[in-house]
Amino acid sequence: MTHLHTGATVAEAYRTALQSHPERVALVLPDGSHWTYAALQRRVHAMARLLQARGLRHQDGLAVLAGNQPEALVVLIACAWLGLRQTSLHPMSAIDDQAFVLQDADIRALVVGAQHVQRGQALKARGVVPLVMGLGPSALGEDAIAASLAFDGGELPIAAQPEDIYRVSYTGGTTGRAKGVVHRSRTTLTMLLQQLACWEWPEPLRVLVATPISHAGGTLVLPTLLRGGTLVLLDKYSPDAFLQAVQQHRISATFLVPTQIYGLLDHPGLDDWDRSSLQYVLYGASPMAPARLAEALQRFGPLFGQLYGQAEAPMTIAYLRKAAHDLARPERLQSCGQPLPGNLVRLLDAQGREVAAGEVGELCLRSPLVMEGYLNRPDATAEAFAGDWLHTGDMARRDEDGFLYLVDRAKDMVITGGFNVYSSEVEACLALHPAVAQSAIIGVPDAKWGEAVAALVVLKPGASATPLELMDFVHARKGALHTPKQLLFEQELPVTPLGKIDKKALRARFWGTQARQVG
């Protein structure tokens, strides 16, 4: 009876998908050719047999350092099949951080994509992982693609078990060393069921994966395959590459982060491409300025659905449906939606008490979506799970209709003279100015107030404004407390490997080596 309620594994969901539509096109390759579902399954089986032959055993750790290369996807599915603990290294992370992850997660094998051989060599030279293979011929050693083709692609029993660690995904490390977030199949299958039930998938389903499969982009793969859709992987994002792929492959759905949407809106060639096939644009990973979201709705139409999640509870904590993106109700454009079925969400104060509707509290969660904990970090796990809730670190309010509104990360809130200033409110205000493309609000040292509100602003191409003009613009709409005391123009804002504005890097310019630094 001990296994009666354990359920399936992610591998079994993949097997169901791959066997349900054997002759359909699963994946369009960069050269224009394609793999059917049956061909993808044969490659997964062959790759799994190669990994077994190279000594990898159930629950060993395997890391992938690759872009959106089709064979990288094959390796990740093969990991699920064998019950390996998979970890993805982000290609833009520092070498030291990647080496730390390999050691912290006890990785036994590293598979490196064709574009990242130099980084792979640097990691191999450090001796932190016993086995390194390439995805293509390289100086790294064995080419896993060529070697796998020598193995049988026939049916292979699934070795994964429901209670296995399925993956260890690392947070961005914006407040210190990255933490390994431990997930079993339970988490991914919960997310999958919520995606299938609550996201608004179009037909026909042709999905452009324009963000890394190592992170948010990868969560589109399994639901697309279960629905019999086709995947197109975009390895290097640019507005033109994205628009060309949409036109060429008649893309109907995609996921973008807000910075990518801003780039499309500001791209002079946006209307030169045929976007008529596009029916659904999911967005998330960081807040989107309501004024820019309204602009996107006007330019693209009512195609947008907002997801909200985090590494500890990925992608499906809440969702804002397409119909809720209503220009007649602009206040809703500030919402991240309503909690999805299966999630219990509460907004709690510092004493763990639920706040009233309209008041700000920390968004806390109970759900099968929640991680097991942080790898090798019992203290951090205990802190995150205080009171038997997952503490997301996001400050939010809830309206009477149950819609959630994120006002800030707890660490991004500026406390000036004892008053709380939520950076997202000032950023949303600046976005209303016709010259502003993007902004970041941070707290900077101030001898009198402790912190002062500072704005770093990127202007739209060809636009002009003065710092005083923008500061007066905020003052007129938000008052003195929210008005930046400093406003600097930037050519671009630094972003993390996941496409979020890197406020830690921005704050470092002002706080330097001071012991007290917000965030």
Q: Could you tell me the CATH number of the domain that includes residue 460?
A: 3.30.300.30
Torsion of CA 294, 299, 301, 302, to 10 degrees: -20
| Strand residue runs (E) in 38-120 | 61-65, 85-88, 107-112
Question: Are 249 and 202 within 8 A, CB to CB?
Answer: no
Q: Are residues 297 and 420 in the same domain?
A: no
Residue 32 lies in a domain: no
Report the range of poorest mean pLDDT among 31-45, 80-94, 309-323, 406-420: 406-420
pLDDT of residue 515: 36
Q: Can you give the pLDDT at residue 158?
A: 98
Q: Same structural domain for residues 404 and 435?
A: no
Nearest Cα neighbor of 510 from 448, 453, 435 is 453
The domain boundary residue, chosen from 184, 212, 228: 184
In-domain check, residue 137: yes
Q: Residue 136: beta bridge partners?
A: none
Of residues 478 and 359, the one with the higher pLDDT is 359
User: Would you give the distance in Å from CA 36 to the centre of its chain?
Assistant: 27
Predicted pLDDT at 53 = 98
pLDDT at 449 over 80: no
CB 406 within 8 A of CB 395: yes
Domain total for the chain?
3
Q: Looking at the domain assignment, is residue 24 inside a domain?
A: no
Give residue 505's pLDDT: 87
Structure-token pair, residue 306: 């907002």
What are the tens digits of pLDDT across the range 60-74? 999 999 999 999 999
- What angle do the packed helices 37-53 and 10-20 form, to 10 degrees? 140
Please report the sign of the dihedral spanned by the C-alpha atoms of residue 128, residue 130, residue 134, residue 139.
Answer: positive
CATH number at residue 159: 3.40.50.980
Q: State the DSSP H helix or E strand holding residue 260, giving kind and residue range, or none if neither.
A: helix 258-265
Instruction: Using the Cα atoms of residue 56, residue 58, residue 59 and residue 63 in order, give the sign of their dihedral.
Output: positive
DSSP secondary structure string for all residues of 114-152: GGGHHHHHHHHHTT-SSEEEESSSBTTB-BHHHHHTTS-
Q: What is the DSSP code (8-state) at residue 15?
A: H
Look up the domain containing 461 and give its range.
413-511
Please indicate, yes or no, whether residues 317 and 397 belong to a single structural domain of this protein.
yes
Phi and psi at residue 260, to the nearest 5°: -70, -40
In this prediction, residue 204 has a pLDDT band, given cuts at 50, 70 and 90, of: very high
In this predicted model, what pLDDT tens digit does every residue of 248-279 receive, in sequence order?
999 999 999 888 999 999 999 999 999 999 99
20 part of a folded domain:
no
Percent of the chain with pLDDT over 90: 79
Q: Can you give the pLDDT at residue 418?
A: 65
Q: Which of 359, 394, 410 is the last residue of a domain?
A: 410
Task: Tell me the per-residue pLDDT of 387-405, one tens digit each, with 9 for 90 and over.
Answer: 999 999 999 999 999 999 9
pTM of the model: 0.85
At 484, is the pLDDT very low, low, confident or very high (cuts 50, 70, 90)? very high
Among 356, 375, 410, give the residue marking a domain's end.
Answer: 410
Paired residues of 206 in beta bridges: 230
Residue 3 lies in a domain: no
pLDDT reported for residue 415: 75
Residues 441 and 399 in one domain: no
Please report the pLDDT score of residue 420 as a whole number.
75
Tell me, what's the pLDDT at 172? 60
Look at residue 517 in the predicted model and tell me its pLDDT: 38
For 124-140, the pLDDT digits (tens) are 999 999 999 999 999 99
Residue 516's pLDDT band (boundaries 50, 70, 90)?
A: very low
pLDDT of residue 519: 31
Q: What is the largest CA-CA distance in the chain?
A: 71
Taking 60 as the threshold, does the pLDDT of residue 175 lie above it? no
Inside any domain, residue 27: no
Question: Does 112 lie in the same domain as 84?
Answer: yes
